[in-house]
Amino acid sequence: MVKIKRTVKELDPYIPGRSNEDLARVYGLDPDNIIRMGSNENPLGPSPQAIETLKKSLHLINTYPESNIDDLKAKIASYARVNSEKIIVGGDGADEILDVLAKTLIEPGDEYIVHPPSYMYYEFTFGIHGATPVYARWNVEENRLDVNSVLNAISAKTKVIFLCTPNNPTGGLIEKKDIQTILESTDALVVVDEAYWEFSGENNVELLDEYENLFILRTFSKVMGLAGMRIGYGIGQEKLIEYMHRVKPVFSLIKLSHIAASATLDDLNYLKESTKLSIESREFLYEQMSKFPELRVFKSFANYILVEIRNTGMKSKQMTEKLMENGIIVRDCSSFRGLDDHWIRVSVATIEEDEKFIDVLKNILSDQQGISND
């Protein structure tokens, strides 16, 4: 028997959202009519400019990707309003940047701080490299970070602190002053995950000029509509970026992803419309779901909404199953550390899809009420 690495044997598998094909097969649905509201994807689809550019570039797939992507770094730097030496680009979304950070920083026995409930991939990635998680706290009731819990978790072994803003899955923001307090309290690298920042209009890039231990994580998967192309980027101090490039795979960003990312950044009208549509959908869903007395709906600054369904008489698995039977995917949040089995996360969709979701949800809750009254 091959001897498997201990950290891998002890690792809980990451649970992604289900595909349309999987759902269609299980429930006998038409995959083209399934409404995806579980993976925080862009309901507008990709940039038309990116699509046209990709069509013209398909003949290039027999050649290796570019190892020098200075043109893309320059566009990202302009978008982020930093110099390009502060940019590193990953070819498996922001997840690759997390892996490169772990390879660059982590020695076995190092500690890192996370604030559940939050994005679970931090633990998935850093655990493989032998780091030990230390848990701070996100106050779900108030939908804000418990800053003191982070400060109390810092030790001499702390190598990285993860702060997710807007936080996934709660949608809450971390105030800039709280991020500054944490940055000033440690020499550890503070990773601020801004995957959803465009939907909030709030970011922390200007803090890079003041704090050497700040690193910002971003992605092309959300507002830029390129989740399937797997492009992420990090913004940090030049010296850290240089070390990260030493361990990053040279050709991780495939040629077509490079081309799609560049074209999307050129399509300013698309970026504006993409942001606008997602925010309109979020606010519509918040308003409509808040009308159901059985639901507790959390205000969000991202492109998804956390919903507590405890008073419906259903658990998250039951609710998500009933929605999937009707061709709608939402996220069962029972796998998130810090949440129990009475939470779901609903991603934005088109307004037409939102309306169908609300109608289906109304029927499910009405049927459940009838069962409860029998």
pLDDT tens digits for range 300-319 = 999 999 999 999 999 999 99
Residue 12 pLDDT greater than 80, yes or no: no
What six digits make up the tokens of 18?
A: 């289900």
The Cα 243–Cα 340 span in angstroms is 39
CB 354 within 8 A of CB 288: yes
Q: What are phi and psi of 345, to 5 degrees?
A: -120, 130
The Cα 289–Cα 163 span in angstroms is 28
What six digits make up the tokens of 196?
A: 């959803």
What does DSSP assign to residue 293? T
User: What is the average per-residue pLDDT within 152-179?
Assistant: 98
The CATH number of 48-267 is: 3.40.640.10
Residue 337 amino acid letter: R
> Residues with Cβ < 8 Å from 361, sequence gap 6 or more?
289, 292, 323
The Cα 149–Cα 126 span in angstroms is 20
The Cα 144–Cα 140 span in angstroms is 7
Please report the pLDDT score of residue 96 as a whole number: 96
Give domain limits for the chain. 6-45+269-373, 48-267
CB 301 within 8 A of CB 164: no
CB 211 within 8 A of CB 199: no
User: What is the average per-residue pLDDT within 228-244?
Assistant: 97
Residue 150 pLDDT greater than 80, yes or no: yes
Asked whether the CA dihedral 138, 139, 145, 148 is positive or negative, the reply is negative
Residue 372 pLDDT greater than 90, yes or no: no
> Residues with Cβ < 8 Å from 213, sequence gap 6 or more?
183, 186, 187, 188, 189, 190
Residue 374 pLDDT greater than 60, yes or no: no
What six digits make up the tokens of 221?
A: 């998967």
Please report the pLDDT score of residue 228 as a whole number: 95
Q: Which of 55-69, 147-161, 273-287 has the lowest mean pLDDT?
A: 55-69
Residue 3 pLDDT greater than 90, yes or no: no
The pTM score is: 0.94
The Cα 173–Cα 138 span in angstroms is 11
Strand partners, 304: 347
CB 90 within 8 A of CB 97: yes
Please report the pLDDT score of residue 25 as a whole number: 83
Mind listing the pLDDT tens digit for each residue in 63-117? 998 878 999 999 999 999 999 999 999 999 999 999 999 999 999 899 999 999 9
What does DSSP assign to residue 56? T
Percent of the chain with pLDDT over 90: 86
Alpha helices in 255-350, H assignment, sequence order: 255-266, 268-289, 316-325
Residue 371 pLDDT greater than 80, yes or no: no
The Cα 109–Cα 79 span in angstroms is 37
CB atoms within 10 A of CB 326: 17
Please report the pLDDT score of residue 14 as a whole number: 64
Residue 184 pLDDT greater than 80, yes or no: yes
The Cα 136–Cα 161 span in angstroms is 10
The sheet carrying 158-164 orders its strands as 87-90, 232-235, 214-219, 189-193, 158-164, 111-114, 132-135
CB atoms within 10 A of CB 37: 27
Q: Is 142 buried (19+), middle (13-18) or exposed (0-12) by CB count in 10 A?
A: exposed
From residue 90, alpha-carbon distances to 87, 255, 271, 289 in Å are 10, 12, 21, 36
Domains 6-45+269-373 and 48-267 share a fold: no
Residue 16 pLDDT greater than 90, yes or no: no
Q: What is the mean pLDDT of the chain?
A: 94
What six digits make up the tokens of 205?
A: 């890039």
Smallest CA-to-CA distance from 330 within 351, 358, 302 is with 358
Please report the pLDDT score of residue 67 as a whole number: 79
Residue 158 pLDDT greater than 80, yes or no: yes
Residue 181 amino acid letter: T
The Cα 123–Cα 216 span in angstroms is 17
The Cα 203–Cα 330 span in angstroms is 27
Q: Which fold has domain 6-45+269-373?
A: Aspartate Aminotransferase, domain 1 (3.90.1150)
Residue 1 pLDDT greater than 90, yes or no: no
From residue 264, alpha-carbon distances to 34, 52, 83, 145, 348 in Å are 26, 11, 20, 33, 20
